[in-house]
Structure 1
Amino acid sequence: MFDIIQSIDQSAILWIYNWGGTQFLDFIFVFLSYTGTIRLAAIILSIYFFWRPETRKISYVIVGALLLSNFIILILKLAVDRPRPYIWLGVSDIEMLVEASPYTSFPSGHSASAFSTMIVVAWYFRKLIVFGMILATVAAVARVYLLVHYPSDVFAGAIIGIAFSLAFILIFEQFRKERQSKTDKEI
């Protein structure tokens, strides 16, 4: 099964590499892909939500979901140890549009962070789900376009981001309800 996924991944990467892209896409995807851009956006959202008492809980959920999903990503990166596509292609660091990370490829931490944040925001603001899904998907596609992840890396990162943020949301909301119930009984 892994051989089939690897073959599909490598075919997609070869197609992207041979196509070469466009200056416009290079600019957009480089901007979206800089290390920390997605996490920085999540932190800015968290700070914004934290300063507003009515949305403070959302900041806790974003940070918690990011920590949980990125912890899982780190464990999987260490366990799988998959080389990045640009290494497989033999592309030098100088030829890369972004700083080439020597760390392993599977799964994508950027994708996990983007989808994790998107799910939390969409959970509390349902109207933003389409916009958030588009933004997270573009961030994930950027990682493939820039040859730092295979398609299966970003897919796995997205699934991890979604799953662990949903788990964190449900745990957080259950804890909050129990705490509120206990407070109501004391009054």
Structure 2
Amino acid sequence: MIESIQQFDADLFLKIHRGLSNSFFDWLMPLMRNRFFWSPLYLFIIVFCIKQYKKQGYYIIGMALFTFAMGDLIASRLIKPFVARVRPCNDFSLANDIIHRVPCGSGLSFPSAHATNHFAIAVFLICVFYSRWKPTLPLGLFWATIISFAQVYVGVHYPVDVTTGALLGITIGLLGARLFKTLQPDF
């Protein structure tokens, strides 16, 4: 059964990585997964929280960072070494099928820490701000999804890696939001 899931995952990976290949995505997707590309958004969130919510804004930022750290710790330090799945761009069986759009790196693949971290932050922020600003939901989910999709498109993760990372991130984001609301019941 594991082999059939891995085969399905590799087939779906190739349908996305090669099958959706086009010059626009070749330009866009490496940007979408680049942390520096999103720096203005991160800065906006920090400034917005502090300016709009003062002291509570610092708590929001602190909990968002805590949520991110928990996602990264669980995905990168606990699960990845235990599973030890090779990235598709380092998988010898796919060597002739990989389009090198970004450096592959030597890290492991399962789960995607990008997906875990970004879904954790997105879900945390959605839970915190949804009652005040409904567009947080579609914007947050789109943001985390495009980053996760880009990981598959550029060839550094399988679809199951990002799906599992997304589910893990959603769980961590919900727990982080619950903790924030417990510590800040007035918000």
Normalized against structure 1, the TM-score is what? 0.83
Q: Is the 8 A contact 2:122 2:173 kept in 1?
A: no
Residues paired across the two proteins, number: 176
Once the two structures are TM-superposed, the CA of residue 16 in structure 1 deviates from its matched residue by 3.3
When residues 4 and 41 of structure 1 are mapped into structure 2, their CA distance, relative to the original with a 3 A threshold, is farther
1:29 maps to a residue whose letter is M
When residues 71 and 174 of structure 1 are mapped into structure 2, their CA distance, relative to the original with a 3 A threshold, is same
When residues 98 and 176 of structure 1 are mapped into structure 2, their CA distance, relative to the original with a 3 A threshold, is same
Matched, 1:82 2:85: yes
Q: Is the 8 A contact 1:42 1:117 kept in 2?
A: no
When residues 20 and 39 of structure 1 are mapped into structure 2, their CA distance, relative to the original with a 3 A threshold, is closer
Q: Which runs of 5+ in 2 are unaligned?
A: none
When residues 45 and 170 of structure 1 are mapped into structure 2, their CA distance, relative to the original with a 3 A threshold, is farther
1:135 maps to a residue whose letter is W
When residues 40 and 67 of structure 1 are mapped into structure 2, their CA distance, relative to the original with a 3 A threshold, is farther
1:62 maps to a residue whose letter is A
Q: Is the 8 A contact 2:67 2:173 kept in 1?
A: yes
User: Counterpart in 2 of 1:183?
Assistant: none
Q: What is the Cα-based RMSD across aligned positions, in Å?
A: 2.4
User: Counterpart in 2 of 1:107?
Assistant: 111
Once the two structures are TM-superposed, the CA of residue 14 in structure 1 deviates from its matched residue by 2.5
When residues 135 and 39 of structure 1 are mapped into structure 2, their CA distance, relative to the original with a 3 A threshold, is closer
Matched, 1:168 2:176: yes
Normalized against structure 2, the TM-score is what? 0.83
Greater share of helix: 1
